[in-house]
Amino acid sequence: MTRNLKLLINFVEKFLGTVKFGNDQIEHILSYGDLGNDLLTGSCGIDLYLITHQDTNSPNPICLMAKVTSSEAWLWHRRLSHLNFDTINLLSKNDIVVGLLKLRFFKDHLCSSCKLGKAKRKSFHIKTTPSSKRRLQLLHMDLCGPMRVASINGKRYVLVILDDYSRFTWTHFLRSKDETPEVLIDFLRLVQRGLHA
């Protein structure tokens, strides 16, 4: 691209479309032409450019190198389920993935999805005020079992009842889950008698 039209040969004025730049500015393509001093010429085969070194006039050795654009590297990163770039380069080097160019991929910024995936959840805040204001207002219950080894009395289940306010714990051992409603009713009667006494 140049603004100096004197440098161009084969200059043709024709609207070809638009170009969007990195700063989101859009410009019109109004003409095209050749600079006239080709460094190398070649032909494109199947995903491969063929360049003859005899055509060059330089006495110094020439190193030709292709570099993947940032957008193409990140496209492959997303296609391969946010795979890290070292592994993508290994896949490229060993020609394991069909269509993946044999080029070196570079990570130029941090992927927002990967950043979010590696983030740890914030820990819960410790409650400064208790949920309950007095004893036996809030009870937590858990039924565990069946245990692999039964107790001496043949009981394989454990019902744990915890008072939220006092942290007092009651533990009841059960032979089967079917006993749970009966044990809970007996426990509630015991608690009601204790409160009224």
Contacts of 51 (CB under 8 A, 6+ apart): 40, 41, 42, 64
Mean pLDDT of 147-159: 94
Count CB neighbours of 76 within 10 A.
19
Please give the structure tokens belonging to residue 81: 């389920």
Place 62 in a pLDDT band, splitting at 50, 70 and 90: low
Query: Mean pLDDT across the stretch 151-174?
Result: 94
Pairwise pLDDT comparison (70 vs 152), residue with the higher score: 152
Q: How far is CA 133 from CA 129, 138, 169, 189, in A?
A: 9, 9, 17, 21
Whether omega for the bond prior to residue 130 falls within 30 degrees of 0, making it cis, is: no
- Give me the pLDDT at residue 5, please: 66
Higher pLDDT, 46 or 151: 151
What is the predicted pLDDT for the residue at 184? 95
Give residue 24's identity as a one-letter amino acid code. D
pLDDT digits (tens, 9 = 90+) for 79-118: 888 888 888 888 888 888 887 777 777 777 788 888 888 7
Give me the domains of the chain, ranges plus CATH numbers.
1-36 (no CATH), 70-118 (no CATH), 139-196 (3.30.420.10)
Do the bridges between strand 49-51 and strand 26-34 make them parallel or antiparallel, or are there none, so unpaired? unpaired
69-83, 155-169, 183-197: range with highest mean pLDDT? 155-169
- pTM, whole model, 2 decimals? 0.38
pLDDT in tens, 26-49: 887 777 777 666 666 677 666 666
